[in-house]
Amino acid sequence: MTPPKFTPSDSDEPRLGPFETLLLGGGLALFLALLYELREFLNPLLIAMAALILLWPLRRYRSVRALLRSGGFLLLFWVLSQLQSVLLPFVVAYLLAYLTNPLVDLLERRLSVPRWVSAWAVTILVVGVIGAMLLWLVPAIVGQLIELLRQLLDSMAQLRQWLHESPLLDRLEEVLPFDRQALIQQLTAFLQAQLNTLTEKLPGTLAALAQSIGSLLGVLTVLAILPMLIFYTLKDYPRLSQALINLFPKHNGRRDYLMYAGTVVGNYLRGQVLISLIAAFNVSVALVIFDVPFALLIGLLAGVLNLIPNLGAVLTNIIALLIALLFGDPPWLDAVIVTAVLLGQGLLEASVLSPHILSHQVGLHPVLILLSLFVFGYFLGAFGLLIAVPTTAIMVGFYQSYREAREKLAVSTPSEATSVAE
């Protein structure tokens, strides 16, 4: 007869005696006093090392192990926040490799091209596109943005005059009793304050971005090593992605949920980025042909907001229509052109682009998509709107994997349930 296996329980863990507890409490008090005295010379890394030295001999206790894990988790985020400018080129290179790896795989499988050759070809293509954008597109867009801000500031006086002469306010005064002068003053003061804040923050934001990247030498260094990083990441992408997957915990002894999440998010991001680039190109070219003011800005807006499902198209139409009405010549004609162009792009996307490019949908209900957009946007702002849908898809994938495992466990026989639980 096989003897039963002995499994240690929580009661079998060693416990501190009264004398050991007193010594531990005194040591912690002295440790905290020392930290207070040296607070001007300490940083989170030194505090974490001291805590590790203090708690490592007590790691056999479950509460101490939990404290070590939570401290290591917080320390990891602190280190990443301190090294964000250093890690930025590596993150960008991995993201570009993640998006373009299917093209490398296609060249390798279909055309029997060695992986290092296909990686070089895709790297040259990506660097060429980025270089063209930096040399031509970015200066033109920044110029139009500065001109838009200047015209908005100049139009404040015209807005005040229009509000005084507008027949719309005359009709509102007949229906609703309100102080017209106070309303005009509050509205113009609010708009002026928002414009002043925007014009003050824009140079500061650009300066902070430049400072985070570094000096001119640092920028040149990043631009020089980025092609090399993209090439080596693409060349060894299968091994790098597998190593990254191995960092995550297993579920029922497998990591299928990560493969599912990676496939769904990858297909979604690649499809959305491609559709956004097509939308930005189509809208920009069409508006430039019709000589609509700030055509490149509207095209860029259409491409970026296209990454936000449902809500992005509504915001694009509203903002583009306001720009056409404020700065068009004549306004009504430019508004009609902008509306027609955006409507045509929406029809093209719904009938041709999305069915053919986004063949792998994330499988989320529209209500859940809108809820995720509002929740992520509330906590993370514009960045949250961009990551809301793929992050929600990953969470749904985790939940589905967990639910399937529980259902299999529920319908299995008692012996199978015991083996699965083990």
- pLDDT tens-digit series, residues 313-368: 888 999 999 888 888 888 889 999 999 999 999 999 888 887 777 655 566 777 88
Closest C-alpha to 98, from 250, 215, 273 = 273
Closest C-alpha to 43, from 81, 13, 9, 14 = 81
Closest C-alpha to 313, from 324, 304, 322 = 304
Separation of alpha carbons 197 and 126, rounded Å: 36
pLDDT of residue 37: 81
Residue 379, φ and ψ in degrees, nearest 5: -85, -35
Q: Taking 50 as the threshold, does the pLDDT of residue 38 lie above it?
A: yes
- pLDDT tens-digit series, residues 95-137: 899 889 989 998 888 888 899 999 999 999 999 988 888 788 8
Amino acid sitting at position 45: L
- pLDDT tens-digit series, residues 181-234: 676 677 777 666 766 666 655 555 555 555 545 555 566 777 788 899 999 999
The mean pLDDT of the chain is 78
Residue 71, φ and ψ in degrees, nearest 5: -65, -40
* Cα torsion angle, 306, 310, 313, 319, sign: negative
**DSSP category for residue 247:** T
Separation of alpha carbons 171 and 169, rounded Å: 5
- Please report how many Cα atoms fall inside a 13 Å half-sphere around the Cα of residue 26, on the Cβ side: 6
Q: Exposed (0-12), middle (13-18) or buried (19+): which is 283, by Cβ within 10 Å?
A: buried
Closest C-alpha to 130, from 229, 54, 26 = 229
CB-based contacts of 113, cutoff 8 Å, min separation 6: 107, 121
Q: Taking 90 as the threshold, does the pLDDT of residue 400 lie above it?
A: no
CB-based contacts of 42, cutoff 8 Å, min separation 6: 35
- Yes or no: say if 59 and 68 are a contact pair by the CB < 8 Å rule: yes
Measure CA 123 to chain center: 23
- pLDDT tens-digit series, residues 370-395: 888 888 888 888 778 878 887 887 78
Map out the domains of the chain as residue ranges: 22-82, 85-240
What string of DSSP letters covers 326-395? HH-SSHHHHHHHHHHHHHHHHHHIIIIIHHHH--S-----HHHHHHHHHHHHHHHHHHHHHHHHHHHHHH
